[in-house]
Amino acid sequence: MRRWPWRLVLALVFLGALPAFCTPADSQPSPLTGFNVIQSPGHPFGSPSAQLSLANAKRIGANTIAVVPFLWQGTPASPDPVRGKDMTDDQLRAAIRDAHALGLAVMVKPQVWVPQSWAGAVTMNFEENWAEWFANYGREIGRLARIATEEKAEAFAIGTELTETSQRPEWTALIETVRQSYSGRLVYMAHNIEEAETAPFWNRLDAIGVTLYPPLGDDDDRVGRLARMVQTAQRLDALAARTGKPVIVGEIGLRSAPGAAARPWESAEERPSAADPDLQAEVLADWLSILDRPSIRGVLIWRWLTDPDGGGPNDTDFTVQGKPAERILRCAWRARCEADPVRARLP
């Protein structure tokens, strides 16, 4: 089965051969549509270039951004997570203020960075180290939550993809502590549907958060990809019904490289590759179509850079800027699908 070029995907939407994922012009957008915005070197939040980049995101149709300050710990078993040096408090404040000035809502979404590993590997070697880890993590999260409250950020994620920690009883006290310092919408971002289904604390939060990077099969197996996406979405429907909570998909994304569908979590640093921006656009189009359902109250794309010239057709990372994925998102969020030029190219 050959892969469908993104132009043909859009054309078939207009001709009625595929389920439409474009939002009608007279309807309201989902509560959260937008990007995880990452601060690029030389383009800090608050700078004119970062402000331009946020304005570009809104032009595409974003109504929300997630700002991602990182916490750092040396190894998965280190009990001393600390705030990273990627973003200062002043830059975090500037991000929220500049987004609000554009009419964008903001989620502050901290993530733990572990060199040569990832947040989902964080676990302690000894039981007594868990109390230390939660104390240090809670201190850093509390500091960020206070900034989010002071700047009136609309949502705050108490954690992202900490899969080995989510069954720990310490989360109960941590959630209650953050509630005392943060007055907005509180979420946690589970890693894939498996962690989301087993996390025990959804009743203490305002929404079910989840990042979605399941294996999607071969790049050219669109039928199989859609089946996997539908299965994931149906499980999210069931989880929302069981908990009575809406779902916020805090991340979907794919690097623009051949073979990325089989390993959607893989970064450009992990595997050098040629560029395939059409694959990225096709997968995001399918995700947006499948996730357009009542239980899901928001979808944020990974990722957008504060560099307004970031990305481009030869970039092989997750960034969607300057790639066909931008047009897919504009179609989904603003119903500007460039019907005439696309239809003119049909064979």
Is 0.75 topped by the overall pTM?
yes
What pLDDT score was predicted for residue 31? 56
Percent share of the chain, pLDDT over 90: 86
Is the pLDDT at 27 greater than 70? The verdict is: no
Is 3.20.20.80 the CATH number for 63-192? yes
Query: Any idea which of 14-18, 76-80, 115-119, 150-154 has the lowest mean pLDDT?
Result: 14-18
Closest CA to 322 of 336, 309, 337, 307: 309
Placement of tokens 């937008």 in the chain:
34
Cα separation, 29 vs 285, in Å, equals 16
Placement of tokens 């809406």 in the chain:
246
Question: Is residue 195 a contact partner of residue 234, using CB atoms and an 8 Å limit?
Answer: no
Percent share of the chain, pLDDT over 70: 88
**CATH 3.20.20.80 region(s) of the chain?**
63-192
What pLDDT score was predicted for residue 32? 87
CA distances 98 to 23, 54, 88, 104, 329, Å, are 26, 8, 15, 9, 22
Cα separation, 255 vs 325, in Å, equals 11
- How many alpha carbons lie under 13 Å from residue 175 in its C-beta half-sphere? 18
List, for residues 269-299, the tens digit of each pLDDT value.
Answer: 999 999 999 999 999 999 999 999 999 999 9
Q: Are strands 32-38 and 155-160 parallel, antiparallel or unpaired?
A: unpaired
Q: Coil, strand or helix: which one is 162?
A: coil
Token digits for 225? 């990809």
Cα separation, 222 vs 228, in Å, equals 10
Question: Is residue 282 a contact partner of residue 3, using CB atoms and an 8 Å limit?
Answer: yes
Cα separation, 140 vs 158, in Å, equals 10
List, for residues 65-108, the tens digit of each pLDDT value.
Answer: 999 999 999 999 999 999 999 999 999 999 999 999 999 999 99
Q: Which residues of 132-170 are buried (b: 16+ CB within 10 A; e: fewer)?
A: ebbebbbebbbebbebbbebebbbbbbbbbbbebbebee
DSSP per position, 42-110: TB-TTSHHHHHHHHHHHHHT--EEEE-PEEE-SSTT-S--EE-SSS-HHHHHHHHHHHHHTT-EEEE--
Cα separation, 89 vs 164, in Å, equals 28
Is the pLDDT at 347 greater than 60? The verdict is: no
List, for residues 239-280, the tens digit of each pLDDT value.
Answer: 999 999 999 999 999 999 999 999 999 999 999 999 999 999
Question: Is residue 197 a contact partner of residue 236, using CB atoms and an 8 Å limit?
Answer: no
At 335, the pLDDT band (50, 70, 90 cuts) reads confident
At 337, the pLDDT band (50, 70, 90 cuts) reads confident
